[in-house]
Amino acid sequence: MITTSTIGSKLSQKLILVCLCGMANISIAPYAYAQSDLEEISIIGTRMPVLPGTVLPNIVVLSSDQLERINHSHIQESLNRVPGVNLQRGSGQEYLPAIRSPVLTGAGACGSFMVSENNIPVRAAGFCNINELFDAHTEQARQIEVLRGPGTVATGSNALTGGVNVRLDTNSDSAVSVEVGSNEWVRAKARFSSNTDNGHLAAFLTSTHDGGFRDSSGFNQHKFSLRHQRNWNEGTLNSGFTIAYLDQQTAGFIVGENSFLNKHLSRENPNPDAFRESLSIRAWSSYQFQSSNGLEWLITPFARYTDMDFLLHFLPGTPLENNRQKSVGIQNAIKWRPSDSLTISTGVDFDIAKGLLSEIQDSPTQGSAFLRATIPSGTHYDYAVDAINIAGHISAQWLLGDTWSLALGGRVEYQNYDYDNKIIAGRTRDDGTTCGFGGCRFSRPADRSDNYTNISPRAELSNALSDNSRIFAIASTFSRAPQATELYRLQREQTIADLDSENTKSLEFGYQWKTDSLNIDASIWGMRKSNVILRDSNFFNVADGNTSHYGIEGAFGFSPVQAINISGSLNFARHKYRNNAGAGTGANIVGNEIDTAPSFFGDLRLLWNATESASMELQASKMGSYYLEPNNLFEYSGHTVYHLRGQLKLDQNWRAFGRILNLTDRRYADRADFTSFSGQRYFPGAPRTIFVGLEWRETSE
């Protein structure tokens, strides 16, 4: 186990002492750039624009060129290139996330990772969804920003171990593309951009049909976004709107040890009736201006709505869930530069939301006598929650001489829930009658209110060693309030969740080297989590977990000659239980590896720019072995999968492109896990899949 002292023995003790002296927002090292030399951009974790190249390496930006080359059919294909990120794909557009963590399930997963579009969280605090990245318009993103590690003071409570921000903007060429592929895949994308009298306007449309490689699977998905920018009243007004709709036939797990190796089983769907239908709508407008006293202001009101129905095919009885959420809020930030060496940023966020959830089972449960008796048909849950989230943040950044930068800051966040149970409370059926074996599996608490106040301090120190290299250190404590489903969607004997906020203490050191031919980013990090809300192999939420996490991450790019680039990412990490929360009766899991937490994963890429018009990339993606449950009795052995991508510019307007995923047609599991009801089960990885497309793009030539 790595502690603060053991990490510190590897690097300068002086850095640790300085970092622990206060609290920080995102630290901006001078890194040989003068502020007037470059146009500023916005990055996840900052409210005000910052200089490109000055953000610390724990924030990774996937550029428009990279995203165009990847052209992902699922967001996993892009994000898994980022060190520390491990998304496991489910069926269709579903996934389970990990950023410097085990692959998490349930509300604890989405509660640990902030997902935002143009810095607006796609869902309200307390009402996250584990698959909410499919609500963001990633297919048309100009850049995707990934925060690895606990959030900055401006990111909000759900960034416990990381965050993803999807950015679309108005400065895009107009383009139209169509692509076709295996399994009835068809996708059309269009974006239109034009100058207005006093700004820019852009529209983005993506429409996708996938027949699915498994029986009774596939999806139709449609996304539309607008972005508008204009100069107004001596400031800049940026407005946005996104609507996303998903209609998916969902394929469930296949069951049995190594069943994913069987070609026929991997194409079957044990849950042909499973589906997911989701609608999300978001709108916002940001106004940035400078007042007469030199203060820079950013004010962003926003509104959101989501409505989702899906069959819980992974639960006994396969009930139907409906969840809805509507929310409005405002973000604001103020930046003040009292001197050339000091910048102060502060702001207040306000979010008010109403969420509704119901779970209804139409038919009797199949299986053992215990399951039939404890999981009856009828309404399991039906409740509404009104929530208020208020947060204040402040940070100060000092430039200490020509090369050092220190940032200290903190965030105070208050979360209040007012819960209204709409059916009978307790462990009974919805008509009040009792279940066998001591009561029903689900438990509905009586009406109640809960509130949480969390303080998250942060410190960052950075030093530009030269024009080409720098080192940095980050120390932080970060907390997140429980999600509404963790508090009010209870199981068995629980009548009150009695959950505390999850907390993580983190320490990170990093090094960055960049030249024209070689880039290296490396980090060593350690985290300890307390009050962890775990979901065990019986799907029960268990509180008071304590876990440890530490690892080494690296990314590199090397160009031995102008036409060749070799790049990749490497991840070595250990994630362990520090107490027995989540263990079975009488089990001791202290020191065990957390389930679905591979010790190694990464990828290696070879890019060949054959001519100015043609390029090709070969990628090898490696997933190491991992345990499937807390007792470490069952294990997935891991896999290596190869992908090939290429594009050819036909003339100044036309481009052809294609990709082959799983080039060698390897049989593997995108996800493996274990439950006491089913044993080992898997989401099989897709076989060899081929896509080809053609794009027309307007150019200024």
The CB-side HSE value for 193 (13 A sphere, CA atoms) comes to 19
Average pLDDT score over the chain: 88
Please report where in the chains the tokens 């203060």 appear, as a residue: 295
Structure token pair of residue 309 = 């129905």
pLDDT digits (tens, 9 = 90+) for 640-682: 999 999 999 999 999 999 999 999 999 999 999 998 878 999 9
Given pLDDT bands bounded at 50, 70 and 90, which one contains residue 109? confident
Q: Cα dist. 676→494, 588, 634 in Å?
A: 20, 17, 12
Which pLDDT belongs to residue 481? Answer: 92
Using left for φ > 0, alpha for ψ between -120 and 50, and beta otherwise, residue 336 falls in beta
Given pLDDT bands bounded at 50, 70 and 90, which one contains residue 693? very high
Given pLDDT bands bounded at 50, 70 and 90, which one contains residue 535? low
Extended strands (E) in 16-72: 59-62
Which pLDDT belongs to residue 28? Answer: 30
Q: How far is the C-alpha of 486 from the C-alpha of 381, rounded, in Å?
A: 13
Q: For residue 643, which of 218, 93, 71, 96 has the smallest C-alpha distance?
A: 71
**Which strand (E) or helix (H) includes residue 395?**
strand 378-400
Q: Does position 147 have pLDDT exceeding 80, yes or no?
A: yes
The CB-side HSE value for 374 (13 A sphere, CA atoms) comes to 16
Which pLDDT belongs to residue 587? Answer: 80
**Which strand (E) or helix (H) includes residue 76?**
helix 76-79
Given pLDDT bands bounded at 50, 70 and 90, which one contains residue 530? very high
3-class secondary structure, 267: helix
Residues near 423 by beta carbon (within 8 Å), at least 6 away in sequence: 379, 381, 382, 430, 444
Q: Does position 412 have pLDDT exceeding 90, yes or no?
A: yes
Residues near 410 by beta carbon (within 8 Å), at least 6 away in sequence: 23, 153, 393, 394, 395, 455, 456, 457, 458
pLDDT digits (tens, 9 = 90+) for 256-306: 999 999 999 999 999 999 999 999 999 999 999 998 888 999 999 999 999
Q: Cα dist. 450→247, 327, 349, 488 in Å?
A: 35, 19, 20, 11
pLDDT digits (tens, 9 = 90+) for 556-596: 999 999 999 999 999 999 999 999 876 665 688 999 999 99
Q: How far is the C-alpha of 612 from the C-alpha of 591, rounded, in Å?
A: 53
Can you name the residues that pair with 61 across neighbouring β-strands? 145
pLDDT digits (tens, 9 = 90+) for 8-40: 333 333 333 333 333 333 333 222 222 333 345
Q: How far is the C-alpha of 266 from the C-alpha of 261, rounded, in Å?
A: 7
Which pLDDT belongs to residue 522? Answer: 94
Which pLDDT belongs to residue 701? Answer: 53
Using left for φ > 0, alpha for ψ between -120 and 50, and beta otherwise, residue 665 falls in left
Can you name the residues that pair with 397 across neighbouring β-strands? 343, 407
Q: How far is the C-alpha of 450 from the C-alpha of 126, rounded, in Å?
A: 12
pLDDT digits (tens, 9 = 90+) for 157-201: 788 999 999 999 887 789 999 999 999 999 999 999 998 778 899
Which ranges of 176-300 does DSSP label H, i.e. alpha helix?
263-267
Please report where in the chains the tokens 């290299």 appear, as a residue: 469
Q: For residue 667, which of 262, 211, 94 has the smallest C-alpha distance?
A: 262
